[in-house]
Amino acid sequence: MFEQSISTLAQKLRNKDISSVELTRLFLARIAKLDPQLNSYITVSEQRALEQAAAADALIQNGQGTSLTGIPIAHKDLFCTEGTLTTCGSKMLNNFIPPYESTVTSRIQQAGAVMLGKTNMDEFAMGSSNENSFYGAVKNPWNLDMVPGGSSGGSAAAIAAGLAVAATGTDTGGSIRQPASFCGITGLKPTYGRVSRFGMIAYASSLDQGGPMAKSAEDCAHLMQAMAGFDEKDSTSAETPVEDYLANLNAPLTGLKIGLPKEYFGEGLDPQVADIIMAAVKEFEKLGATVKEISLPNLQLSIPSYYVIAPSEASSNLSRFDGVRFGHRCDDPKDLLDMYKRSRAEGFGSEVQKRIMVGTYALSEGYYDAYYLKAQKIRRLIKEDFVKALNEVDVIMGPVAPTTAFGLGSKTSDPVAMYLEDIYTLSVNLAGIPAMSVPAGFANGMPVGLQVMGNYFAEAKLLNVAHQYQQHTDWHLQTPTMAKGA
């Protein structure tokens, strides 16, 4: 049952082959059995899940509901969930129970989905390996000695292991796509502004974007249908009408123009990963697509640009965590300044502290023009590269990451090597365009994701492209050994 799609499970629920309560209990049992090995959940909300499942069964009994009604899913632990612990993977919020619901979780709840719990993540979404969580590292279900990717690694690992049908994630510099690639699932980073950020605890406000993660593009489309849309509570929310993401999944790809950026296939890319990506591209050619080489000349500047802009925004956003109103507060402070200092030093982990310091420096007097302003100018050039390329082609394809999942602890002492894992994903966030990771094969026994990038608000096209590929391949149907028979 844990390998079934949302459409299949929804049909079983409507046919009364299984109830949502029974389905939810099945997943809760799997979490209890398998998650001690994975550490993919921070909070399992059993009581809330069973109550929501019972309510979903009542709706289905009355012939009501949506395709998500009664489907057990999980949320990344930076979406505020009213009455349920929301930690952002940090000691700073170890005791934070929000008094309100984020727009994303509220909309999914209104669609009738069941919340199994909150998934583990890099602290405040800062990381590429899910080793920065206060609650410990998440393990990759394909190999427990490997990282699942970050920062949405908990969501990716839970889906791959069959501990949730689907999950929400967030993507600031690749944090949906990279863990999706490392864990062999499908993940969509929407256009900036397509999904509301209200109630999503911020890392870098001009880059953060919530999105769906699931086994397949079709399942992502179901989740995206509930998540997307304008929200007056979010000043960055786009008023562009929401498409029917399921309507055109089966549209043929004849005439699709694919661009391959030469910068994505240079030094640093694992040859096995490159071979898998090119094999996937050839599959699209069989489906009627044409391929041409393109150039994104400023790709190499995305890492220095991102690691000035994102920490600068983090420095501003995380200043609210001061031990006064909510979150961790140190014991017996001598005075207000001591409380600020010790609460933040105790509450934030080393990676978060590092990025706050970098961002504060970049924004300080005398350095703002030299660093932050220059980084924003580079960001404009990166965006213009994508705009030019997407005037010539319908979608851009390439690898998600230069390698497959790496070993736990292998890069924690080398931040530059860790940051280079995001070389192919950061530019998408800087430009604000949508992109997906689609399972495309295995190298060294670990999954490899194909990255598909599109024009602004072209999520429906990306989902169509990914779905058609998945109708002719079975990489997205592969299951880790540890998940079978559990």
Q: What share of the chain is helix, strand, coil (3-state, %, to 5)?
A: 45, 15, 40
What backbone torsions phi and psi does residue 195 show, to the nearest 5 degrees? Answer: -120, 130
Tell whether 377 is covered by a domain: no
Tell whether 415 is covered by a domain: no
For residue 30, what is the domain's CATH number? 3.90.1300.10
pLDDT value of position 486: 64
pLDDT value of position 485: 63
- β-strands 257-261, 395-399: how paired? parallel
> Looking at residues 220-237, what average pLDDT do you find?
98
**7 part of the active site:** no
pLDDT value of position 416: 81
**Residues 98 and 82 sit within 8 Å (Cβ to Cβ):** yes
Tell whether 457 is covered by a domain: yes
Identify the residue whose tokens are 């608000």.
Answer: 457
pTM: 0.97
Q: Which domain holds residue 94?
A: 6-255+436-483
pLDDT value of position 472: 97
Would you state the structure tokens that stand for residue 262, as one six-digit string? 């030469």
Q: Is the pLDDT of residue 330 over 80?
A: yes
Distance CA 256, CA 467 (A): 14
Give the whole-number percent of the chain exceeding pLDDT 70.
100
Distance CA 230, CA 369 (A): 34
Tell whether 268 is covered by a domain: no
pLDDT value of position 221: 98
> Looking at residues 323-342, what average pLDDT do you find?
94
Q: Hey, is 44 helix, strand or coil?
A: strand
Tell whether 216 is covered by a domain: yes
Tell whether 405 is covered by a domain: no
The average confidence (pLDDT) of the chain is: 96
**151 part of the active site:** yes
The active-site residue out of 45, 175, 196, 216 is: 175
The active-site residue out of 5, 76, 302, 312 is: 76
Identify the residue whose tokens are 């005075």.
Answer: 335
Q: How many CA atoms lie within 13 A of 282 on its CB side?
A: 6
Q: Which helix (H) or strand (E) holds 345?
A: helix 336-347
CA distance to 2, 220, 301, per residue, from 214 (Å): 12, 6, 31
**Residues 102 and 147 sit within 8 Å (Cβ to Cβ):** no
Identify the residue whose tokens are 């974007």.
Answer: 209
Mind listing the pLDDT tens digit for each residue in 407-456?
999 998 888 888 888 999 999 999 999 999 999 999 989 999 999 999 99
Q: Is the pLDDT of residue 161 over 80?
A: yes
The region that residue 404 occupies, defined by phi over 0 for left and psi between -120 and 50 for alpha, beta otherwise, is beta
Tell whether 194 is covered by a domain: yes
Tell whether 343 is covered by a domain: no
> Looking at residues 184-207, what average pLDDT do you find?
98
pLDDT value of position 265: 94
Mind listing the pLDDT tens digit for each residue in 38-89?
999 999 999 999 999 999 999 999 999 999 999 999 999 999 999 999 999 9
Mind listing the pLDDT tens digit for each residue in 365-376?
888 888 999 999
Q: How many domains are contained in the chain?
A: 1
**175 part of the active site:** yes
The DSSP bridge partners found for residue 395 are 258, 454
